[in-house]
């Protein structure tokens, strides 16, 4: 299944994206499913959705022109992995890490997959990073990598937008990556049964139609099971939490000359089989 949240910002409704261009309005049939949040995942929400899709009383709407929000209602935390592709670490002049580099993005930065990205006043070096992200489906504490995939609800796309000067000048990454709208998520939360091979997914980014990033999850240095094990050893992951797994090489700020985001640009990021975003820069 492909889970979506649709409607006006701040008033999104849970839905299921159908391949024929319709959206199943989940709340019209199951009013107790308020949103795709921790309660939903904890109380077997995914299993309930599978039954609703084929319910004769299901209500569908035409997806054309409908705004999509993040497919996950505000998670308790966003855990991101830096330099998880060796070539990306090298283009930044970093040593290849011996263990994952973790940082966080503010949940207030979360944006819909096609909403505008707002560049802050005074920002100078802003670019995007296309990433595959994992959504946690149940409480994970001290999970071994051999069991880690049992804790996955599904996968989505994250654009890790960053103001590089702020990132570097602050001595830590949180503020430069945490501005409002700097974390588009979606369009879908894709359940694991639709992703047969996590180790072979194309991850890409285009700016104004020009391809900047064209990588593959085969090049991830730290796998998703390892990341869940590593993070959960000392930090409990809650249902609905998001782990963004890192970005391949080719980002605009690492190019010579740099290719940076500015007002009027259109940035597209995607992971084949998981979804694609399209955001105007303002």
**Between residues 94 and 143, the one the model is more confident about:** 143
Q: DSSP class of residue 237? A: B
Single residue among 19, 45, 69 that ends a domain in this structure: 69
Say what the pLDDT of residue 255 is.
94
Same domain, 118 and 60: no
Check: CB of residue 266 under 8 Å from CB of residue 169. no
Same domain, 146 and 201: yes
Say what the pLDDT of residue 88 is.
87
Average pLDDT, the chain: 96
Single residue among 49, 69, 89 that ends a domain in this structure: 69
Q: How far apart are the C-alpha atoms of 197 and 218, rounded to whole Å?
A: 10
Same domain, 125 and 246: yes
Domain with 100 in it: what CATH number? 3.90.850.10
Same domain, 194 and 213: yes
Same domain, 96 and 50: no
Same domain, 89 and 60: no
Same domain, 33 and 101: no
Task: Give the residue numbers spanning the domain of 107.
Answer: 78-280
- The answer to whether residue 82 scores a pLDDT higher than 80 is yes
What are the structure tokens assigned to 222, written together?
């730290």
Tens of pLDDT, residues 238-248? 999 999 999 99
Q: Structural domain tally of the chain? A: 2
Same domain, 176 and 64: no
Going by pLDDT thresholds of 50, 70 and 90, the confidence category of residue 170 is confident
Single residue among 36, 69, 102 that ends a domain in this structure: 69
Same domain, 91 and 50: no
Nearest partner of 261 among 183, 207, 184, judged by Cα: 207
Say what the pLDDT of residue 95 is.
80
Tens of pLDDT, residues 25-40? 999 999 999 999 999 9
Same domain, 125 and 85: yes
DSSP states of 8-62? STT--EEEEE-TTSEEEEHHHH-TT---SSHHHHHTTHHHHHHHHTT-TT--EEE
Check: CB of residue 226 under 8 Å from CB of residue 145. yes
Same domain, 83 and 127: yes
Same domain, 163 and 273: yes
């Amino acid at each position: 299944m492909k889970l979506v949240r649709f409607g006006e910002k701040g008033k999104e409704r849970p839905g299921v994206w159908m391949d024929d261009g319709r959206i199943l309005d989940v709340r019209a049939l199951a009013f107790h499913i308020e949103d795709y949040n921790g309660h939903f995942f904890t109380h077997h929400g995914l299993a309930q959705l599978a039954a609703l899709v084929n319910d004769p009383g299901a209500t569908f709407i035409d997806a054309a022109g409908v705004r999509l929000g993040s497919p996950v209602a505000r998670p308790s935390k966003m855990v991101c992995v830096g330099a998880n592709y060796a070539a990306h670490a090298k283009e930044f002049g970093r040593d290849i890490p011996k263990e994952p580099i973790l940082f966080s993005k503010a949940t207030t930065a979360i944006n819909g997959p096609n909403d505008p990205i707002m560049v802050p006043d005074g920002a100078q070096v802003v670019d995007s990073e296309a990433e595959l992200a994992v959504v946690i489906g149940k409480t994970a504490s001290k999970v071994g990598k051999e069991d880690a995939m049992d804790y996955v609800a599904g996968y989505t796309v994250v654009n890790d937008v960053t103001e590089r000067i702020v990132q570097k000048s602050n001595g830590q990454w949180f503020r430069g990556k945490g501005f409002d709208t700097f974390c588009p998520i979606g369009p879908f939360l894709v359940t694991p049964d639709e992703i047969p091979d996590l180790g072979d997914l194309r991850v890409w980014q285009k700016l104004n139609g020009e391809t900047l990033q064209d990588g593959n999850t085969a090049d991830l240095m730290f796998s998703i099971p390892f990341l869940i094990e590593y993070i959960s050893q000392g930090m409990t992951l809650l249902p609905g939490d998001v782990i963004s797994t890192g970005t391949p090489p080719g980002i605009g700020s690492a190019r010579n000359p740099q290719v940076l985001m500015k007002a009027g640009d259109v940035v597209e990021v995607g992971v084949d089989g998981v979804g694609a975003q399209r955001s105007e820069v303002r």
